[in-house]
Structure 1
Amino acid sequence: MTTARHYGMDWLRIGAFALLILYHIGMYFVPWHWHVKIDPTIDWVAIPMLATNGWRLPLLFLVSGYASAALFGKLGGAGAFVRSRSARLLIPLAFGIVVVIPPQPWIELMGQHGYAQGLLHFWTADYFRFGALDGIILPTWQHLWFVVYLWVYTMLAALLLAVVPVETRAKIADRAARWLGGWGLLIVPMLWWIAVYAVFPDHDETHALFDDGPSHLHYLMAFGIGWLLRVRPLLFGAVARWWKAAAVLAVLAFLPVAWVEWNWPGDTVAPGWVFPPYHVARLVQGWAAIIAFAGIADRWWNRDHPWRATLAEAVFPFYIIHQTIIVVTGWYLKQAGAAALPSFVVLLAATVGGCWLFYAIGRSIGWLRPLIGLQRR
């Protein structure tokens, strides 16, 4: 494992979270179910959304695995790693669930279930019911499910690192690096995803942790390869050899996905024969895109910039607050009957501005820093 910082992976993490914010802005327009929607929704928006759907979350887990491995190497022990990760993830998770998230289910209940009470009444009387209200489980972690899953994955990694001797860990990492060297880094994870789909073809992600086993098999693989990229950086050689082919494969694999969405848009039900090749194409496109972006980051983005450290620090606070800003802003835009283009402009400006304000205030006040995912001064 090298101690050199890979700036390209920092930029990849920054870009992945920026894309996540844009994706959630898109959820206001696309026909899929969400907390608040423009009326009417726009079918064609699903196509650019699907272009990122297969890889945006696994990419986040991959860069998180890479960063987790770097932190473990810096701290030097499983105990310190567990304490550090738990503080950085569980404290903002609790703050998010209690303070940041409540406006989202409140707006969904008002807009889609006829809930008539104000936010304060909802927060004090209904939100902490630890049960369902019109089918919505409360309290909820909503988009912060990623933080929950990431904490679980890092705890599993810490457990393995604590019980497996160092020599054995080195042999496992060496063997995995040899196995994934060359074309293996492109093909083996792809085949793993396809095998998971073949065994669980009807599984839909729940983000509820305990009933989401196939999703864990999907995301843990990306997290593990991200970790391996850090501890065996020679794998970036395989990335360098294959990223251009992976980029072409990702574009080609997306064509049938876009074709299906174009022919059966919105709530139109496609015939049964469409689903297996559609899902396989999404999986192929997803992993190929991840390798392509890793190659681009390694080739072109592995350099520092005065803004890198600030942006790298800001992405977690941005992630915590962004969806609540989008949902609240979207609710008022819908009440005003705003058209699609001005709605997008307002949503983008409000989200970026609100996220920067949340980050700027939180980072400047010592006791707020841990609540928004920042280290204490």
Structure 2
Amino acid sequence: MERHYGLDWLRIGAFGLLIFYHVGMVFVPWDFHVKTAHPLDWVAIPMHATNSWRLMLLFVVSGYASRALLAKSESPGSFIGSRNKRLLIPLLFGMTIVVPIQPWVELTTQHGYDGGFGWFWLHDYFRFGSFHNLILPTWQHMWFVGYLWFYTVALAAAVWLMRGRSLQGLFDGMFGTVAIVLAPIAWLLFADMYLLPGGRETHDVLNDAIAHAHYLPGFLFGFALARSGPAMAAIARWWKAAGVIAVLSYAIVAAIELRWPGSGMPQPYGYIFATARVIQGWCAIVALIGIAEHYWNRDHPWRRTLTEAVFPFYIIHQTVIVTVEWALRPYGLPPLAEFAILVTTTVAGCWAFYLVGREVGWLRPLIGLRGFIVPRRAARSVVLTPVESMS
């Protein structure tokens, strides 16, 4: 498989937006691990610009990358082995070392917990049960990595059971048409309105039907898209129209949110909001893939570094946000100053985490990097395989 540089840039951009999104969670009146003293209702408007598609896009891109990694592997078993190293090791490291300060901050700021972090980590974090309505230990934002691992295992099992048979022709025939836009929207509306009405994501892998109804099909869609010329051709035909529809749908979402902030909107506006959000989300994904295919499918000297850096950034970014906001709370800063400090320190903290971690051989696998260091003098002569560093 040829490397698709456009999807590399799309993945980099999606993870970059994630930093701003989680900084925004500090200010928006939605549940989060730590909140500013000055929440702002209007912040929900820009948050909704990406809320409906940011995670689905990551699962679609991850499915696409998994097709390339599977093609490189000798067997489904070796594919699973490589995924275990690149996903489970960082997940366990994150849950044990990186994540614990987040529930501690939530407990101290929202539940009256008065123990220090050291006491919490040694005595309360590894309870393997409920503590002040939190399940500990927890994976917090690392749930994405856990779900990606489960979907990868399910994919490898399906490939093994198929014994060389393929559904690629069926996918090509269906999604090589305008169904590339319409069919996923129909499925998502069916899941949200009829199959699992009122369903909310829990990030509990055994009790999160609505998330699996969204993200597992998205992951499989990306897997099939990686070898589908007809589907990519359909995206090339329809991405501009999809982009226009995504913008118009977002305008509806924003207008309803502005008129009835939060979840108190009357019917039928609640149904209109939910429908517009689904349409916005999938049309945005089609448009972004089309843009990536048409404009971004080219290499750049920064691409290799940024592609490698996004996973370490993902692992550490929310911990930096929560910790810095916890430290800022007593000062009662204006929201704009608070936002600027959070963005600056988060980006700096992510870069420091990556730049230090990539130079330490034993630390590299813990933060999602391949377990070796390329000698600087030999770096220019290294030729990457088409699927290098994709996850």
How does the TM-score come out when normalised to structure 1?
0.97
Q: Which residue of structure 2 aligns with residue 122 of structure 1?
A: 120
Matched to 2:333, the amino acid is A
Matched to 1:239, the amino acid is I
Contact 1:101 1:141 in 2 (8 A): yes
Separation of aligned partners in 2, 1:150 and 1:65: 9
Q: CA deviation at 1:97?
A: 0.3
Equivalent position to 2:253, from 233, 237, 257? 257
Separation of aligned partners in 2, 1:362 and 1:40: 35
Separation of aligned partners in 1, 2:351 and 2:225: 31
1:104 aligns with 2:99: no
Q: Which residue of structure 2 aligns with residue 92 of structure 1?
A: 90
Separation of aligned partners in 2, 1:203 and 1:234: 34
Q: CA deviation at 1:176?
A: 0.9
Q: Deviations over 1:338-369 (max 9, x none)?
A: 11111111111100100011011111000000
Separation of aligned partners in 2, 1:190 and 1:273: 19
Give the % identical residues.
52
Q: Which residue of structure 1 aligns with residue 146 of structure 2?
A: 148
1:225 aligns with 2:221: yes
Matched to 1:336, the amino acid is Y
Q: Which residue of structure 2 aligns with residue 79 of structure 1?
A: 77
Contact 1:250 1:286 in 2 (8 A): yes
Q: Which residue of structure 1 aligns with residue 363 of structure 2?
A: 368
Separation of aligned partners in 1, 2:9 and 2:74: 25
Q: Which residue of structure 1 aligns with residue 191 of structure 2?
A: 196
Equivalent position to 2:300, from 300, 305, 309? 305
- What secondary structure, in the 3-state scheme, does the structure 2 residue paired with 1:137 have? strand
- What secondary structure, in the 3-state scheme, does the structure 2 residue paired with 1:91 have? helix
Q: CA deviation at 1:274?
A: 2.2
Contact 2:38 2:335 in 1 (8 A): no
Q: Which residue of structure 2 aligns with residue 60 of structure 1?
A: 58
Q: Give the helix-richer structure, 1 or 2.
A: 1
Q: Deviations over 1:99-146 (max 9, x none)?
A: 000110000000001111110000001000111111011100000000
Contact 1:243 1:296 in 2 (8 A): yes
Moved over 4 A (4+): none
Point out where structure 1 has 5 or more consecutive residues left out of the alignment: none
Separation of aligned partners in 1, 2:172 and 2:45: 35
Contact 1:182 1:241 in 2 (8 A): no
Point out where structure 2 has 5 or more consecutive residues left out of the alignment: 373-391
Matched to 2:279, the amino acid is V
Q: Deviations over 1:188-245 (max 9, x none)?
A: 1111101111221111000110111121011111111111111224421111100000
**Deviates most, 216-225 or 95-104:** 216-225
Separation of aligned partners in 2, 1:284 and 1:271: 20
- What secondary structure, in the 3-state scheme, does the structure 2 residue paired with 1:36 have? coil
Q: Which residue of structure 1 aligns with residue 273 of structure 2?
A: 278
What is the root-mean-square deviation of aligned Cα atoms in Å? 1.0
